[in-house]
Amino acid sequence: MDEGRAMKYGLIGEKLGHSFSKRIHESLFGYEYEIKEISPKNLKLFLLERDFQGINVTIPYKEVALSYCDELDISASKTGVLNTIVNHEGKLVGYNTDYYGLKFMLEVKEIDITEKTVLILGSGGTCKTAFTLCKDLGAKEINICSRKEEEGFISYEDIEQQNFDVLINTTPVGMYPDNEGLPVVETVLKEKVVIDVVFNPLRTKLIQKALQQSCVATGGLLMLVCQAAQAGALFVNEAKSASEILDCYEKLNNDLENIVFIGMPSSGKTSVAKELANALGKEFVDLDVLITETEGLSIPEIFEQFGEEYFRETERKVIEEVSKKQGLVIATGGGAILREENVNCLKQNGKLVLLERGFDFIKVDENRPLLKDKEQWKNLYEERKEKYEAASDIIVKNDGIIEETVQRILEELT
């Protein structure tokens, strides 16, 4: 966007290519909300001109923007960081609605900080917000882990020696497009409450590892929606109820979440996925088609010329890239879940639907490398059954009419 053009409401930051703020604000309040990238050299002029009514402020300006405000709300003065500025007839007032967003998320998720020992990862602006909130909520002890070698911070090398109840990640580690980042070793997560303020992907690697260990864990999307609702209320003096905020969050989450079909060859994944994509208005993606386009060969040709291991590695690379996208309905190949890394990638933005089809409904295909007769199919199914079930979030029978199967899936998704 042109830095010189005025705006009424919007978001400013240095790099904003994948912000959800426009969708959230316009959904909640109906006003036009703009995304404006501003370089550090032009930030001062933009704020001094005051040619806006209300803005949100994100990385890397949450702290530096404080000095341009005429007045600070208690939320900003207590934390030493802001993310919202409102222009009151030429007077700029700074607020920290992230504080309220994080507080709301903790309440909804029934996470109690009182008398808990909290470890916060990162020492930037969001860390200050989390620290202040945890202190206000009565945390027993709050420690900060940082790569800065300064007094008062814990090093990442010392985390395994720390005793804590709640872990809050305020770093960008694991955030799109570097989704594979993990800020701490997974062994420290056992029996902890894990909060990640990162909202893209929906489930970071940190959150996935925590869930695999039966931890209470949540990502940052709900916090994002609530802080936006609080900011919008300041812009137009129109507060939103908790139910309105939750409705907006659930709709956004459903829009962003991928629906991923897994299961045996001939279970109907492609046909059902296409029909579901039409019903939901989402884009349909067939991973096998992407693989053939990538290689310029059919799957039987890939198996014949290069072998199964080569195919699986190509499949892994395609899954890794597709899984970073959102709002898709994805049909996978039958063996996509054989590698744990594939399942983890698919789950970061996706809900996995296992399609099961009765043996009598199976149609073999001589062109499938691993499915040339029914006996072979049956043996392969027995080998994979446990992995399919372990990877799935929903299991649906597909023994009848496609439309009926899709309807059952829609009911499971609501």
Sort strands 54-57 and 71-72 into parallel, antiparallel or unpaired: unpaired
Tell me if 245 is assigned to some domain: no
Q: Are 237 and 261 in contact (CB under 8 A)?
A: no
User: Strand, coil or helix: what is 88?
Assistant: strand
Domain shared by 116 and 78, yes or no: no
pLDDT band at 255 (very low <50, low <70, confident <90, very high): very high
Active site residues: 62
Looking at residue 339, what DSSP letter applies?
A: S
pLDDT digits (tens, 9 = 90+) for 258-282: 999 999 988 999 999 999 999 999 9
pLDDT digits (tens, 9 = 90+) for 182-229: 999 999 999 999 999 999 999 999 999 999 998 999 999 999 999 999
For residue 71, pLDDT over 90 is answered with yes
For residue 54, give its domain range.
Answer: 9-95
For residue 1, pLDDT over 50 is answered with no
Q: Which has the closest alpha carbon to 383: 282, 274, 277, 265?
A: 265
Among 190, 219, 248, give the residue marking a domain's end.
219
DSSP assignments along 227-277, one per residue: HHHHHHHHHHT----HHHHHHHHHHHHHHH-EEEEE--TTS-HHHHHHHHH
Burial of 195 (0-12, 13-18, 19+ CB in 10 A): buried
pLDDT digits (tens, 9 = 90+) for 6-53: 789 999 999 998 899 999 999 999 999 999 999 999 999 999 999 999
Among 75, 95, 115, give the residue marking a domain's end.
95
pLDDT digits (tens, 9 = 90+) for 331-369: 999 999 999 999 999 999 999 999 999 877 777 666 666
d(CA 19, CA 27): 14
pLDDT digits (tens, 9 = 90+) for 366-389: 666 655 677 888 888 899 999 999
Q: What pLDDT is attached to residue 291?
A: 97
Domain shared by 38 and 179, yes or no: no
- Cα–chain-centroid distance for residue 267? 29
Tell me if 237 is assigned to some domain: no
Domain shared by 149 and 59, yes or no: no
Stated as kind and residue range, the H or E segment containing 413 is helix 402-413
Q: Which among 83-87, 299-303, 376-380 has the top mean pLDDT?
A: 83-87
Q: Which two tokens stand for residue 232?
A: 């919008």
pLDDT digits (tens, 9 = 90+) for 96-146: 999 999 999 999 999 999 999 999 999 999 999 999 999 999 999 999 999
Among 194, 219, 244, give the residue marking a domain's end.
219
Number of domains composing the chain: 3
Q: CATH no. for residue 71? A: 3.40.50.10860
Tell me if 24 is assigned to some domain: yes
Q: What pLDDT is attached to residue 176?
A: 95
d(CA 185, CA 209): 9
